[in-house]
Amino acid sequence: MEYKANENRYDSTEYRRCGESGLKLPPVSLGLWHNFGDRSDFDNMCRMCFTAFDSGITHFDLANNYGPEAGSAETNFGKILRNHLSQYRDEMIISTKAGYYMWPGPYGDKGSKKYLVASLDASLKRMGLEYVDIFYHHRMDPETPLYETMWALDSIVKSGKALYVGLSNYDGETMTKAAQILSELHCPFIINQNRYSILDRTVEKNGILKNAIEAKKGMIIFSPLAQGLLTDRYINGIPEDSRVKTDGRFLKEGQISPDIIEKIKKLNAIAENRGQTLAQMALSWIYSREGITSVLIGASKPEQITENLKMTENIHFTDEERLAIDKIVLG
């Protein structure tokens, strides 16, 4: 499979800066959480990466445990890089993370320096890279002193294995403490990654969005479609080929209640009035919020990427639309 990038890939994309840093990200970034493991079709993975890059998506987001099996998404992405995208490496932002369970024993999880350094070394080997652009601590670890985790991130940057660092799944209070430590270490902490969607407003309650804005850090959002709930997939029930039926690790059948389906139908009606699909509206709703740098999407086929990118065509919401959305979701 030969690949040559679209020469016009940057013509219609506006990139947002991560806080006060020099790094810019596209409106939509491609997450490899799902559909890049060893159970997925490799040619389809290639086509999704090609479609993304041809469309101005420069940012590809991974983690050490993405698969299944853990590590396989990085291995497969490494093959795609090596075989097709290596000449474009300097045009790409590649991120990975560590923080969840990877290997047995006391050093294969959480936030110790030993774990983080070893995990990134393994990630770089799997992807065939000398460095990643962004390395995240994947989740807060109350068992490890915060200073040790931040010191580990700083040492990773100073070793040349990452250009910038980020924090994922942190709350506002802990992020602020971490940012102070990293500032004192002169470590380029530029971005937070958190879950946020029309249906899940946790970042508005736990202080991370407010504190990130105040600290002038970037914010990239994962699960903006609530694991597929904010699409037309579940309006008429649960399809046999849906993620719930075929995977079930993250979105459970019990989560798709009659109440949720009713909310989805009402949200879909607003999207139709805006000339958007429900997914496009859900993405543009996130991207229109203050402090958001980029929105991560997953995909199972290239066409989904193309459709979701259309969200940038209408990111303006009237006050009436915002109120209607909030009334449906929050009551």
Beta bridge partners of 166: 136, 191
- Residue 244 placed within a domain: no
Q: What are phi and psi of 127, to 5 degrees?
A: -90, -10
The pLDDT, as a whole number, for residue 257 is 86
Residue 140 lies in a domain: yes
Give the Å distances, CA to CA, from 71 to 25, 40, 64, 131, 239.
Answer: 25, 14, 5, 17, 29
Q: What is the pLDDT of residue 246?
A: 54
Question: Does any domain span residue 8?
Answer: no
Alpha-carbon span 89 to 139, nearest angstrom: 27
Instruction: Please tell me the total count of domains within the chain.
Output: 1
**Does the residue 3 lie in any domain?**
no
331 part of a folded domain? no
214 and 192 in contact (C-beta within 8 Å)? no
Q: Which amino acid is at 311?
A: M
Measured distance CA(95)–CA(104) in Å, rounded: 24
Q: What is the CA radius of gyration of the chain?
A: 19
In degrees and rounded to multiples of 5, residue 164 shows phi and psi of -135, 165
What's residue 239's pLDDT?
67
Start-to-end CA span in the chain (Å):
51
The CATH number that applies at residue 42 is 3.20.20.100
pLDDT tens-digit readout, 24-35: 999 999 999 999
User: Has residue 307 been placed in a domain?
Assistant: yes
pLDDT per residue of the chain (331 residues) written in tens, 0 to 9: 799 999 999 999 999 999 999 999 999 999 999 999 999 999 999 999 999 999 999 999 999 999 999 999 999 999 999 999 999 999 999 999 999 999 999 999 999 999 999 999 999 999 999 999 999 999 999 999 999 999 999 999 999 999 999 999 999 999 999 999 999 999 999 999 999 999 999 999 999 999 999 999 999 999 999 989 999 888 877 766 665 555 655 566 667 888 999 999 999 999 999 999 999 999 999 999 999 999 999 999 999 999 999 999 999 999 999 999 999 999 8
Nearest CA to 203 among 236, 175, 240, 231? 175
Summarize pLDDT for 202-224 with one digit per residue, the tens: 999 999 999 999 999 999 999 99
pLDDT of residue 247: 60
pLDDT at 158: 98
Residue at 50 is within a domain: yes
Q: Which domain holds residue 180?
A: 16-231+282-317
Burial of 258 (0-12, 13-18, 19+ CB in 10 A): exposed
Report if residue 224 sits inside a domain: yes
Contacts 24+ apart (CB under 8 A), 173-177: 173/207, 173/211, 174/140, 174/146, 175/208, 175/211, 175/212, 175/215, 175/217, 176/211, 176/215, 177/146
Element (H, E) at 284: helix 278-287
Give, in degrees to the nearest 5, the angle at Cα 28 between 266 and 213.
Answer: 85
State residue 243's pLDDT score.
59
